[in-house]
Amino acid sequence: MPVKNRFAELHGDITAWRRDLHRHPEILFETHRTAGIVAEKLRAFGCDEVTTGIGRTGVVGVIRGRSTASGRTIGLRADMDALPIHETTGADHASTVDGAMHACGHDGHTAMLLGAAQYLCETRNFDGTVVVIFQPAEEGGGGGREMCRDGMMDRWGIEEVYGMHNWPGVPVGQFQIRPGPFFAATDLFEVEVEGRGGHAAKPHETIDTTVVAAQIVTALQTIASRNADPVAQVVVSVTSFRTSSSAFNVIPQKVHLKGTVRTLSPEVRDLAETRLTAICTSVAEAFGARASVDYIRNYPVMVNAEEQTAFAAEVAQAVAGSCEDADLVMGGEDFAFMLEERPGAYILVGNGDTASVHSPDYDFNDETIPAGCSWWAEIVERRLPAR
């Protein structure tokens, strides 16, 4: 089965929705305009229920099939938030908000799920209930966690849940997926190194925090090279190095480090946290300085359930003619929180030969829309077949 004819008919409308969202990006939980548009459209489509304010600014719509005798309920999730990046695409629909843009395609995800919701409201060719989930704050805010904490899964009786992300480099309308661990756990850390500041001409009278912090940055790389099993995936990145003085002739009193740790198993995650703390404190102590570490467990590993992944791949094959095995991804994805509560699957849909996500030159490829919408709709009609 190729893409559904209805989505070819709706392609222009869905593209217009997507480009409007692109012009008005909203960051983290500040997705007020976006959530308002989503709720308005879901009501206009004829959703049986529309609830706002889930997970602070999330939106949930309920669509019941012609029959609900099966008693089954599945969830479909799209993210709504943008990134704090200044857009450089030069597109006619470029961001009108300085310093914010849809650099990850969440505008496309939202538009595609809206298109699928319209189709499902029109046809209702399924036996059961569909819950469409529009989530804020995927980009670091943990909006998925907040929606789960608000009791979304139990409140609407969601039994399994499916998500989708566009993927540059994969041909338009083609799909990739893998079972088990897929996207990495992404933890954050901050390290404050304190020594004794002084004049750059008298380093012997100081405890040079710049030297100490530099040694820490280098030593942290041994977590991957000498502590973790060589076949295990772990990435430790120091992404910010800030001294308490910007003068040429001052050895700073303090240095502040920030970074991320990315892992694909609970065991390696525990190991990385333990070793990072030990390395920072012991290296600082060896130089006569002090280091305090704040390690923040952020997004967990996103794990696709075996059964739901096989089903999602089968649907993708029906829509696109094939579904390839995806590579492991060391980026984070807070759909992981929903998959911790319910079995489900997360799939990648091709965005074509475009700039990478999180780039100021990126734009969602509107040619992806029919395939993405068709996959959503087929997930429902095949998982909840009409009687």
**Which residues line the annotated binding site for Mn(2+)?**
104, 106, 139, 165, 358
Sheet of 185-194: strand order equals 234-243, 254-263, 185-194, 290-299
Characterize the bridge pairing of strands 198-199 and 180-183.
unpaired
In whole angstroms, give the CA distance from residue 326 to residue 328.
7
**Phi first, then psi: what are they for 6, rounded to 5°?**
-60, -35
Dihedral class, residue 288 (left if φ above 0, else alpha if ψ from -120 to 50, else beta): left
In whole angstroms, give the CA distance from residue 264 to residue 182.
8
Residues 279, 297, 77, 87, CA torsion sign: negative
- 169 by DSSP, 3-state: which? coil
| Cβ–Cβ under 8 Å, residues 135 and 147 | yes
| Cβ–Cβ under 8 Å, residues 47 and 64 | no
Burial 138-174 (b: 16+ CB within 10 A, else e): bbbbbbbbbbbebebbeebebbbbbbbbbbbebebbb
DSSP state of 353: S
Write out the H or E segment, with its range, that includes residue 76.
strand 73-79
In whole angstroms, give the CA distance from residue 261 to residue 162.
26
Angle in degrees, CA 276, 187, 363, rounded to 5? 135
Kindly state the tokens that stand for 289.
Answer: 């300085």
In whole angstroms, give the CA distance from residue 6 to residue 45.
15
Residue numbers in the known binding site are 104, 106, 139, 165, 358
HSE at residue 350, side-chain half, CA atoms within 13 A, is: 19
DSSP letters, 113-150, are HHHHHHHHHHH--BBSEEEEEEES-TTTT-HHHHHHHT
